Structure 1
Amino acid sequence: MVTTGIVGSGLPIGVGLATSSDLRKDGRVTVVCFGDGASNIGAFHESLNLASLWKLPIVFVCQNNLYAESTAYAHGTTAEHIADRAAGYGMPGVTVNGNDPQESLDAFTAAVERARSGGGPTLVEAVTYRFMGHYFGDPGAYMDRGEYDKALEADPVPALRALLKERGLATEEQLLAMEGDIAAQVEGAVEFATESPYPGPEELRLDVYREEVPA
């Protein structure tokens, strides 16, 4: 719903959205994504505690790529799995191979159904790997090369591509057409952004108040 530059800030915002759905009884489930580094900040623990206390319809998804910016997981977190922390808040915690579409789908489906049926939140930890530095230009010298090469060999995109064709769910021509369409959408978005004028001062109060408040 929103974008912020603060690490882990989506967690309490997600709790707010889930609270709104709970009060409105609209049947919606909020899914909030964050990295393994964000699981070490206060907002993570506060959000899980409140969501469990109120049995909110929310799924917390930790995309654990094993690096918090440039810090390896083992150098900043003592828990073997982020999902293990769910027990402290009385909610299910599940660790899945985030590079396996079927395993991830099964976990997310169960978590969403639980949330929608009034069972409360779930913490899903999807373990994956980051194939580049934390920011543009980051050479990623802190990454273990052996670990990196092993992860690259298990790149989930080619594996999924092969699986789709093996199961007869898509042909190479269809996949190429999809890639072309996606590339065109991205290029169009970039062109729109670069050619659009900068926002004016009148947008300072946009989406700040529910109703416009005269200055």
Structure 2
Amino acid sequence: MGRDWLSYLLIDPEVPFRLRIRHSELISPKLGGTRRSGERMFDSLRPGEFRQLSGRRWVWGRQVYVIGSRLADSGELLILITNACPETALPDYARRWGIENLFGALKTRGFCLESTHFKDPERLSRLLALLSLAFTWAMKVGLWIHQGSPIPLKAHGRRSQSLFRTGFDFLRRTFSNLPLFSGRFHQALQLLSCT
């Protein structure tokens, strides 16, 4: 992270990127110009608003486009830098974040995919297909539970537990004691049949 990483991404041919930077990072309109923190540059944004600074700006000694957004749900400030297509930087980053959450669920925060040590492409492909179905089921169950009994919010405005984790924990508890939870299990199974 930082100047060396950004320099690497900007070597010809450039690698298109969308990087989140800290609020305290300094941004300047020109090399050697007055630098201000990202937080100060975007302090007027209200929740749900975003703004792209005009032209390229200097961050970590390199010229990049800078986009700021105040997240609607939490009011948190998100600052991105990019070298291409600044108009699509926020939606691109949002898609990336969804992928990061999926990888986390497939790995350490859920199914522990890396523990399998599979090397055979055919077996790995089948396992990924099965885990994709399981992930979808856990998300649907989590949403179903959340609709019936909303997941409480923490002080920062985010849920105390993700929809995936809520559904995953429910399915795990259910499978570990199926006779006790058979009624709820059948309801959850109906969610899978609609997938």
Where on the TM-score scale, by shorter chain, does this alignment land: which range? under 0.3
TM-score, normalising length: structure 2: 0.25
- Considering only CA atoms, is the larger Rg found in Structure 1 or Structure 2? 2
TM-score, normalising length: structure 1: 0.23
| Greater relative contact order (Cα < 8 A, sep 6+) | 1
